[in-house]
Amino acid sequence: MKRNKSPFKWRHFEPTIILLCVRWYCRYSLSYRDLEEMMRERGLSVDHTTVWRWVQRYAPEINKRMRPHLKMSGTSYRLDETYVKVGTEWKYLYRAVDSAGQTIEFMLSARLDVSAAKRFFKKLMRAEQRRLPFTIGTDKHASYPEAFAASVREKVLPQDCKLRRVKYLNNIIEQDHRAIRRRWRAMQCFRSFHTAERTLEGVESLHVMRKGQVKRLDGRDAVGQARFVEGLFGVAV
């Protein structure tokens, strides 16, 4: 009989401490050195590079394990992209929310073109909590119409789905970008694309919880959210 291996095997700290650091880093405007100092105040000697490794390991895992617990999205989507600095270059974070502002999916891309938009449509339609879209609202970027038409032809998107390129419809996602931008600016910048991708999975996940998208969990219930994350990993509360 195969036993499930603990994701915290060989770690020198308790899982509750590891998850606490990962949650705080992804949710609040803190640096790794801030967390090192905060842990020191609590009598724990945790190096900032150790916290970095924890975020890289467990932030994507939180995102993955959280997905089955999310409320279903609406059928009117809003797509947009924002900028993220990786090293000395700017990359593009594609994001999609519904008309109520609930996050559906996100994807970091090195390019802003038709190919990237098509990849995002495919990822979007694989999201566990999504309902089939009736309309998709985007900005005026030239890549979207071609990517949308190709995705409909390839049956990635429903045949009756409509593309709406009306600027004011995207106000809701423009506002939602602010919380993500505020967080990565506090991080200053990422050293590599892979690091950015994994860290942003945690940032987006904690943002989703904060917006109240987890079933039976209030977005203002910080204690409940902490217990929920621990429960995802089978950590005794």
pLDDT in tens, 72-126: 999 999 999 999 999 999 999 999 999 999 999 999 999 999 999 999 999 999 9
Q: What is the pLDDT of residue 3?
A: 54
What length is written for the chain? 237
Task: Judge contact between 172 and 99, C-beta under 8 A.
Answer: yes
3-class state of residue 219 by DSSP = coil
Question: 76-181 maps to which CATH number?
Answer: 3.30.420.10
Residue ranges per domain, the chain?
15-69+192-232, 76-181
Residues 183-209 pLDDT 10s: 888 786 789 999 999 999 999 999 999
Q: Which pTM does this prediction carry?
A: 0.92
Burial-class residue 11 by CB neighbours within 10 Å (0-12, 13-18, 19+): middle
Q: Which residue has the tokens 């809701």?
A: 172
Q: How far apart are CA 236 and CA 99, in angstroms?
A: 37
